[in-house]
Amino acid sequence: MVTSMKKLAELDVELTVEERNLLSVGYKNVIGARRASWRILSSIEQKEESKGNEQNVKKIKTSRQKVESELSNICKDIMGVINEHLIPSCSGGESTVFYYKMKGDYYRYLAEFKMGDERKEAADQSMKAYQSATTTAEAELPPTHPIRLGLALNFSVFYYEIMNSPERACHLAKQAFDEAISELDTLSEESYKDSTLIMQLLRDNLTLWTSDIPEDGEEAAKLGAAKVGEGDE
């Protein structure tokens, strides 16, 4: 499916909502399995290192590096499609937000395992893409729109997991949740399920993340009092 959707995207015509979703799901399935494998291998590698099992560590490290190479190639592949074909073909705010969010996601996936300067570069590019998506989303999409909410969810996960900033993650997630709650009655029936599901994920994250904020922090006190608040879309 990924190959077919990639060929369609390379025609330089704007994809329909269904085509866009198929492309996204296709790449997410391809990279999701490898992200899960990388986490498992990294965890086992750490345990074996702590036991001093050098032979096992060597084998696991080889497997982990193979997965990292596959992850890098997948991210490079979809990034090329996004930058060269999908974003230039956008004509509306919704698709622009969708693709910049997607770009931010795949740079975030790179930042999960890259080291040193490569990690910093991936994190910087992810930040820029999420910020571009946010600017367009705030100007053109309502707070209850599933894509705007999904962007806020993933951007907040970026702050928490990549930037190690639970305060900023909670602020972003809480703001998105509160803005959506205030306009919940304007939701159409077709997007109600998608939007409320993402709002629940925002709440779950806030609940989890607020426990990581020092209690003596001013922002922590505000967020702790709200008690509204993981996961990535």
Answering whether pTM is above 0.85, one says yes
> Quick check: is 113 in a domain?
no
pLDDT in tens, 102-120: 999 999 999 999 999 999 9
Give exposure, 32-64, as e/b (b: 16+ Cβ within 10 Å).
eebbebbeebbeebeebeeeeeeeebeebeeeb
End-to-end CA, the chain: 20
| Rounded CA separation 208/172 (Å) | 14
Q: Do 156 and 76 have their domain in common?
A: no
Evaluate if residue 220 carries a pLDDT over 70: no
> Quick check: is 109 in a domain?
no
pLDDT at residue 231, as a whole number = 60
Q: Do 232 and 159 have their domain in common?
A: yes
The residue segments making up the domain with residue 171 are 142-233
Evaluate if residue 9 carries a pLDDT over 50: yes
Q: Do 150 and 212 have their domain in common?
A: yes
Mean pLDDT of 178-202: 91
3-state SS, 142-196, equals CCCCHHHHHHHHHHHHHHHHHCCCHHHHHHHHHHHHHHHHHCHHHCCHHHHHHHH
pLDDT at residue 129, as a whole number = 98
The enclosing domain of 155 has a CATH number of: 1.20.190.20
Q: Do 4 and 98 have their domain in common?
A: yes
pLDDT in tens, 49-95: 999 999 999 999 999 999 999 999 999 999 999 999 999 999 899 99
Q: Do 3 and 86 have their domain in common?
A: yes
Number of domains present in the structure of the chain: 2
Evaluate if residue 21 carries a pLDDT over 60: yes
Evaluate if residue 30 carries a pLDDT over 90: yes
Question: Band of the pLDDT at 5, cuts 50, 70, 90?
Answer: confident
Mean pLDDT of 125-141: 98
Is residue 232 within a helix (H) or strand (E), and if so which, with residue range? Answer: none
> Quick check: is 14 in a domain?
yes
| Rounded CA separation 99/130 (Å) | 10
Q: Do 78 and 7 have their domain in common?
A: yes
pLDDT at residue 2, as a whole number = 85
Neighbours of 73 (CB within 10 A): 11
Q: Do 90 and 146 have their domain in common?
A: no
> Quick check: is 199 in a domain?
yes
Q: Do 98 and 3 have their domain in common?
A: yes
Q: Do 52 and 4 have their domain in common?
A: yes
> Quick check: is 123 in a domain?
no
Mean pLDDT of 132-161: 97
168 contact partners, CB below 8 Å, separation of at least 6: 159
> Quick check: is 120 in a domain?
no
> Quick check: is 213 in a domain?
yes
Evaluate if residue 191 carries a pLDDT over 60: yes
Domain final residue pick, 52, 80, 102: 102
Evaluate if residue 165 carries a pLDDT over 90: yes
Query: C-alpha 139: how far from its chain's center?
Result: 21
Q: Do 1 and 96 have their domain in common?
A: yes
